[in-house]
Chain A
Amino acid sequence: MSEESKTVQKPALAHLFWWFMFSQGGLFAAVLLPVHILVQGILGPLGIVPVVDRHYDTWINILGNPIVKLYLLVLISLPFFHFAHRLRYLLVDLGVPAAKSLPAQVIFYGVAILVTLVTIWVLLTTAPISLG
């Protein structure tokens, strides 16, 4: 019996999970992000259109909505799982093979998890949940 046939084939569940987070994060960043940057980052500050974050009352009102909170959690945290992978491989491509190692994976995906936790905390503490 050869070495290879002795090894038990296990489904790569961890691989599946991180790959899923990578693709979903990339998709959400692709579909949702440009319009936020255009409206909140350019048109609003230039005063071309009224934007919800230009005044305290409108901004805090919409931030209290639970659906908006859930949306912002997805918008902010999921792309970081995509970014973690991309930046790790950017380093590998720039000649830093250590970015492939397990400690590097822990650091990069750890930051994505940290951003998720901070986002949850900010969304829960900034504006009280209200349906009004």
Chain B
Amino acid sequence: MSAEAKTSARTATKTYRPAMGAGWWTKKRHYFLYMVREFTALPLALWLLWLLYEIQRAGRGPAGYYPPRSTAFVIFSVICLLFALYHSFTFLKLAGVILHFKVLDKPVPSGLIVASQFGAWLVASIVIGAVLIGFGR
């Protein structure tokens, strides 16, 4: 290899940078949805912090406790619910790709695994909903 070729190879390695701006994810719908999936963490974290605050407020005694009733809070919850549903949908659907079982030497179809995940979600939602509503008055 000539000295010139060596230099140009080294410079090429040094100067290479993947050309990807901060807005790459706005260019394709698939990329955008991927970023939305990552972003779901933020509203869900905020809602859980609110729940923690709601639990903490119960420690102030009967006079200091008041349940949330503002329109702003309901709107906040509606936005969080949309992100929560998107997280649930994408996360539980992934199970069909990640989990592999064999029953009687035959692989369980991924559709069945996904269906069982969604079934578990439904059952858990009914049970929790029943407790939250059933113990209320």
A132 at the interface (CB under 8 A from B): no
Q: With both chains docked as a complex, state the minimum distance between the C-beta of A91 and any C-beta of chain B, in angstroms.
A: 9
CB <8 Å contact, A63 and B55: yes
Q: Given the interface contacts A31-B124, A34-B125, A58-B136, does A42 sit within 8 Å of B56 by beta carbon?
A: no
The interface size of chain A toward B, counting residues with CB under 8 Å, comes to 56
Contact of B44 among A29, A54, A93, A95 (CB under 8 A): A29
CA A41 to CA B84, docked complex, whole Å: 12
B33 at the interface (CB under 8 A from A): no
Contact of B77 among A35, A37, A87 (CB under 8 A): A37
The interface residues of chain B lying within 8 Å CB-to-CB of A32 are 124, 128
A125 at the interface (CB under 8 A from B): yes
Q: B interface, how many residues as a size bin?
A: 35 or more
Interface of B is mostly: helix
CB <8 Å contact, B131 and A44: no
CB <8 Å contact, B136 and A52: yes
Write the chain A residue with the least CB distance to B53.
A122
Contact of B133 among A39, A60, A94, A123 (CB under 8 A): A39
CB <8 Å contact, A55 and B67: yes
CB <8 Å contact, B132 and A51: yes
Q: With both chains docked as a complex, state the minimum distance between the C-beta of A88 and any C-beta of chain B, in angstroms.
A: 10
Which positions in A face B, CB cutoff 8 Å?
26-27, 29-42, 44-46, 49-63, 72, 75-76, 79-80, 82-83, 86-87, 89-90, 93-95, 115, 118-119, 122-123, 125-127
Which positions in B face A, CB cutoff 8 Å?
20-22, 25, 35, 38-42, 44-45, 47-49, 51-52, 54-56, 58-59, 61-62, 65, 67-70, 73-74, 76-78, 80-81, 84-85, 87-88, 91-92, 120-121, 124-125, 128-129, 131-133, 135-137
A45-B69, A51-B136, A83-B41 provided; 12 other pairs, C-beta below 8 A? A29-B87, A29-B88, A29-B91, A30-B121, A41-B77, A44-B132, A45-B68, A49-B133, A54-B137, A56-B62, A87-B38, A115-B52
